[in-house]
């Protein structure tokens, strides 16, 4: 399994006025993002909760990649979140709702909601995951995503 972190912060806020040639050409940074998403076999979304939803930069990225052609369609995905209480869960469920329109296929289990603000510490000062139990649970999410991806591709 190869994992590539795709940065979404360079993307401009979605604005169809930035499109050219009748919506067939996007700004260069969006074109590159489209290519990366298009080449991926599946996706692992990680987002904190903002007002019962996903982080605005993630929603912006989702919207850009859904512009024709929708490069999310018919691909497998999983979601993980870290936050306080059940906020991350709310974000996950909202992302699942968005994924319905995008034709994304999310794994159902296992789910991973990390309660980041309760001891013991789950992350170090640099944001690296240090909790062994959470690492194992994340591994199980990734293995499930891999298996589901191969099944959707007709490889198992």
Predicted confidence at residue 59, as pLDDT, reads 96
Note down the domain range covering 55: 16-152
What per-residue confidence (pLDDT) applies to 88? 82
Instruction: Name every residue whose Cβ is closer than 8 Å to that of residue 66 and which is 6 or more positions away in sequence.
Output: 72, 101, 102
The CATH number given to whatever domain includes residue 27 is 3.40.50.360
Give domain status of residue 6, yes or no. Answer: no
Whether 82 maps to a domain, the answer reads yes
Question: Where do we find the tokens 């993002």?
Answer: 33
In a domain, 67, yes or no: yes
Question: What is the pTM for the complete model shown?
Answer: 0.90
pLDDT for res 67: 94
What CA dihedral angle connects 128, 133, 136 and 137, to 10 degrees? -100
Domain count, the chain: 1
Q: Which residues of the chain have pLDDT under 70?
A: none
2 domain residue, yes or no: no
Using one digit for the tens of pLDDT, what is the confidence trace for 59-102?
A: 999 999 999 999 999 999 999 998 877 778 888 999 999 999 99
- Whether 1 maps to a domain, the answer reads no
- Whether 58 is covered by a domain: the verdict is yes
């Amino acid at each position: 399994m190869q994992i590539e972190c795709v940065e979404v912060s360079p993307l401009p806020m979605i604005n169809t006025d930035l499109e050219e040639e009748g919506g067939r050409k996007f700004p260069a940074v969006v074109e590159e993002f489209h290519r990366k998403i298009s080449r991926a076999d599946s996706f692992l979304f990680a987002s904190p909760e903002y007002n019962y939803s996903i982080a605005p930069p993630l929603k912006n990225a989702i919207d850009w990649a859904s512009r024709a052609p929708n490069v999310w369609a018919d691909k497998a995905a999983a979601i993980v979140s870290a936050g306080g209480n059940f906020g991350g869960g709310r974000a996950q469920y909202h992302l699942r709702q968005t994924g319905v329109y995008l034709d994304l296929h999310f794994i159902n289990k296992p789910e991973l909601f990390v309660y980041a603000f309760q001891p013991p510490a789950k992350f170090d000062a640099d944001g690296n995951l240090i909790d062994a139990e959470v690492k194992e649970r994340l591994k199980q999410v990734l293995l499930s995503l891999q298996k589901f991806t191969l099944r959707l591709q007709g490889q198992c």
